[in-house]
Amino acid sequence: MMSTLALIALVVGVGAVTFFYRYAMIGLFAGDRLPGWLHALCRHIAPASFAALTASALFIDAGAVSIALDAPKPWAALIAALVAWRSGSVLATIGAGMAALYILKLIL
Amino acid sequence: MNRPALREFLAGCRDEAPLLLGAVPFGILYGISALAAGIPAWLAQLASAVVFAGAAQLVIVQMLAAGAGMLPTALTSGLLNLRHLLYSASMATYVGHLPRRWRMLLAYLLTDEAYAVAVLRYQARPPAEGLDLRHWYFFGAGFTLWFAWQLSTAFGLVFGAAIPPAWELDFAVPLTFIALLTLLLRERPGQAAALAAGGGVLLFAALPFKLGLVLAILAGLGAGVWTARRREQA
């Protein structure tokens, strides 16, 4: 865990960058158009980020790949993914995933 | 604020309200998992005001909990927020005539949820009686989300301290990512991006400070762009 000062710098830095994105086209470069490649790139940011974060949370432990069949979290995540696919609801996904985690922790 | 402006502002608040149903649980979850990651409560609340972007804030918390370094965390959340550039470009024609202080205020409030509501208003209805007050509507929508986000963060922070770690509520964060991801996987380029990024995480796991996560996301972006281009040519 980094120091409080580093955390403040991180928050302020990400906040400044985010405000820059939001203000850029309506304030700084008003009248300019975004290039087409940037449009194309932005469409893939969300799926790439969420997949990387999910894989990291499930299969990376202290900087090493750990895929264990008797670990409850990947299985709970799989059940959550099925619920997400069928329902399309974030709340139902979280509910199913947490319930699956608790049950699997009792069984495994 | 005169009466027609107030009416526009309140219409924006009202139309934003249904979207709070999705945002408020996010804010509570963010507050709870920020505490679990060891972030001081005041700083987590400050981040909700300074960053004011739900997905990026959850990413920061998730990465810090996993022991990521400052640069990879900043790069990943900065990359995720790049989409706001698109919203800004889309809104430019509608708010470009406003004074600078208005444009800065509306830019600060330009989230996914405020954009979704405000852009519909701008596209659907020409200004009434010659006077364009639709920025008050945008302000109302943005302010409503801002207020709910600060409040739900605070709720999560207060509530989160009372939750035992054995409940593993921080597992709800990857579950949220799974839900959002599933909604994005309807098309081939999105699938390719997700597959490459997920594989990249396993491939680059040994890199320090979670830098592998940044590389994996870049690999996903490459795969997505490449697949989309190949489909255009086919």
Residue B172 lies in a domain: no
- Same domain? For B74 and B8 the reply is yes
Instruction: Give the pLDDT score at B180.
Output: 86
Q: Tell me how far apart the alpha carbons of residues A22 and B12 are, in angstroms, rounded to a whole number.
A: 19
Number of domains making up chain B: 2
Q: Cβ-count burial of B22 within 10 angstroms (0-12 exposed, 13-18 middle, 19+ buried)?
A: middle
- Same domain? For B118 and B218 the reply is no
B127 pLDDT tier (thresholds 50, 70, 90): low
Residue B179 lies in a domain: no
* One-letter amino acid of B118: A
Which H helix or E strand runs over B33?
helix B20-36
Residue B116, chain A, CB below 8 Å: the answer is no
* One-letter amino acid of B74: A
Residue B168 lies in a domain: no
- Same domain? For B225 and B110 the reply is no
Q: Which among A24, A52, A98 is the nearest to B85, CB-wise? A: A24
- Same domain? For B107 and B156 the reply is yes
Q: Tell me how far apart the alpha carbons of residues B110 and A22 are, in angstroms, rounded to a whole number.
A: 6
Tell me what ipTM this predicted complex has: 0.88
- Same domain? For B151 and B197 the reply is no
pLDDT surpassing 70 at residue B198:
yes
Q: Tell me how far apart the alpha carbons of residues A57 and B213 are, in angstroms, rounded to a whole number.
A: 11
More confident residue, B148 or B83: B148
Q: Which positions in chain B touch A64 (Cβ < 8 Å)?
A: 205-206
Instruction: Give the pLDDT score at B157.
Output: 95
Count of A–B CB contacts within 8 Å? 273
- Mean of all residue pLDDT scores within chain B: 91
pLDDT surpassing 70 at residue B234:
yes
pLDDT surpassing 70 at residue B110:
yes
Instruction: Give the pLDDT score at A25.
Output: 92
Q: Tell me how far apart the alpha carbons of residues B216 and B209 are, in angstroms, rounded to a whole number.
A: 13
Range of the domain at B199: 187-233
pLDDT surpassing 80 at residue A100:
yes
Average pLDDT over residues B43-59: 95
pLDDT surpassing 80 at residue B209:
no
Inter-chain touch A25–B85, beta carbons under 8 Å:
yes
Average pLDDT over residues A25-53: 85
Inter-chain touch B96–A90, beta carbons under 8 Å:
no
Place of tokens 């990521």: B68
pLDDT surpassing 90 at residue B139:
yes
Inter-chain touch B201–A26, beta carbons under 8 Å:
no
- Same domain? For B151 and B215 the reply is no
- Same domain? For B95 and B30 the reply is yes
Q: Tell me how far apart the alpha carbons of residues B30 and B62 are, in angstroms, rounded to a whole number.
A: 10
Cβ atoms of residues B81 and A45 within 8 Å: no
Percent of chain B with pLDDT over 70: 97
- Same domain? For B133 and B192 the reply is no
Which residues does B10 contact at the CB level (< 8 Å), separation at least 6?
B140
- Same domain? For B56 and B143 the reply is yes
Residue B176 lies in a domain: no
Instruction: Give the pLDDT score at B108.
Output: 98
- Same domain? For B55 and B145 the reply is yes
